[in-house]
């Protein structure tokens, strides 16, 4: 299999507080029409775009690994040096409305991909749930599921191809205290 590696980045800095978020703005606005704050809030924090993917150059099929970019902190599920990331990881990709439709390595659950395709966000998206942790409790993120890239080259990466778990379709039922 001929492979092509792609690194990407999702994690954006915390939104500024001076732009109000319109209610369910993602249902009414295209990616192009979103304000900076809306665009930034749209990232669900799943971190899956900081994980290596391999693309079969013959078929275009995407294979996902559990190997993350060297700056990805699997515990916090965030880039450990967002401000300097482009200096350290040259091929870290900054998402834009124009790029999103072309980036087929973005996970199907990526909020930018969903909205770009005219779909709604899942229950676990922080904008829907109101809780930044639901992306993790829904098993929709890369939190604690990756290993650092280290010195792995493409052949090593191919051994790390995995099937990522499907996120929970509904919120888990709360346990009752006995
Ligand atoms: S540099 Fe940071 S944002 Fe970019 S892919 Fe790596 S961990 Fe993700
Ligand atoms: S929502 Fe998209 S851009 Fe944000 S972390 Fe997840 S995959 Fe990356």
Residues framing ligand 1 (Cβ under 6 A)? 7-9, 11, 50, 69, 71-72, 79, 85, 89, 92
Domain assignment present for 168: no
Nearest-atom number in ligand 2 for the CA of 95 is 3
Does 140 fall in a domain?
A: yes
Domain that holds residue 111: 3-158
Residues with CB under 6 A from ligand 2: 10-11, 43-49, 95, 106-107, 110-112
Q: Are strands 147-148 and 78-79 parallel, antiparallel or unpaired?
A: unpaired
| DSSP-derived secondary structure for the chain | --EEEE------PPPPSSSPPPTTHHHH--TTT--HHHHHHH-----GGGEEEEEETTT--EEEEEEE-TTEETTTTEETTTTTHHHH-TTPPPP-TTTGGG-TTS-TT-HHHHHHTTPPPPTTSHHHHS-TTHHHHTT-S-TT--EE-TT--HHHHHTTB--PPPPPSSPPPPPPP-
Task: Name which residue sits closest to atom 4 of ligand 1, judged by CA.
Answer: 9
- For the stretch 42-75, pLDDT in tens is 999 999 999 999 999 999 999 999 999 999 999 9
* Contacts for 159 with CB less than 8 Å, ≥ 6 apart: none
**What is the structure's pLDDT at 20?**
77
Which residue matches tokens 């749930």?
A: 129
Ligand 1 center from residue 112 Cα (angstroms): 17
Model confidence, pTM: 0.87
Is residue 79 domain-resident? Answer: yes
| Residue from 52, 75, 79 to probe ligand 1 pocket by mutation (most atoms less than 8 Å from CB) | 79
pLDDT at 111: 98
The tens digit of pLDDT for each residue in 124-144 reads 999 999 999 999 999 999 999
What are 132's strand-pairing partners?
A: none
More confident residue, 173 or 30: 30
Mean pLDDT score of the chain, rounded to an integer? 89
Confidence of residue 10 (pLDDT cuts 50, 70, 90): very low
* Domain-located, residue 28: yes
Distance CA 53, CA 160 (A): 10
* Ligand lying nearest the CA atom of residue 100: 2
Q: Which of 8, 9, 10, 167 to mutate to test the pocket of ligand 2 (most atoms within 8 A of CB)?
A: 10
**Is 166 part of any domain?**
no
Residue 96 lies in a domain: yes
Q: Select from 5, 8, 9, 142 the residue to mutate for testing ligand 1; criterion: most ligand atoms less than 8 Å from CB.
A: 9
Task: Examine residue 167 and state whether it is found in any structural domain, yes or no.
Answer: no
pLDDT score at 176: 63
> Does residue 178 form part of some domain?
no
> For the chain, what is the domain count?
1
What is the percentage of the chain residues whose pLDDT exceeds 70?
A: 87
Whose C-alpha lies nearest to ligand 2, atom 8? 10
From first CA to last CA, the distance across the chain in angstroms is 54
The yes-or-no verdict on residue 4 having pLDDT over 90 is no
Confidence of residue 1 (pLDDT cuts 50, 70, 90): very low
């Amino acid at each position: 299999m001929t492979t092509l590696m792609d690194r990407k980045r999702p994690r954006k800095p915390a939104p500024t507080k001076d732009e109000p978020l319109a209610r369910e703005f993602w249902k009414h606005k295209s990616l192009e029409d979103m304000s900076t704050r809306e665009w930034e809030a749209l990232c669900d924090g799943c971190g899956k775009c900081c994980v290596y993917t391999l693309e079969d150059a013959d078929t275009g099929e995407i294979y996902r690994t559990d190997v993350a970019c060297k700056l990805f902190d699997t515990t916090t599920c965030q880039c450990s040096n967002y401000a300097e990331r482009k200096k350290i990881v040259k091929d870290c990709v900054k998402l834009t409305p124009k790029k999103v439709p072309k980036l087929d390595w973005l996970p199907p659950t990526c909020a930018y991909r969903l909205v770009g395709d005219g779909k709604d966000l899942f229950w676990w998206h922080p904008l829907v749930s109101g809780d930044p942790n639901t992306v993790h409790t829904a098993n929709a993120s890369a939190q604690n599921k990756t290993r650092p890239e280290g010195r792995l080259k493409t052949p090593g990466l191919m051994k790390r191809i995995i099937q990522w778990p499907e996120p929970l379709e509904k919120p888990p039922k709360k346990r009752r205290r006995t």
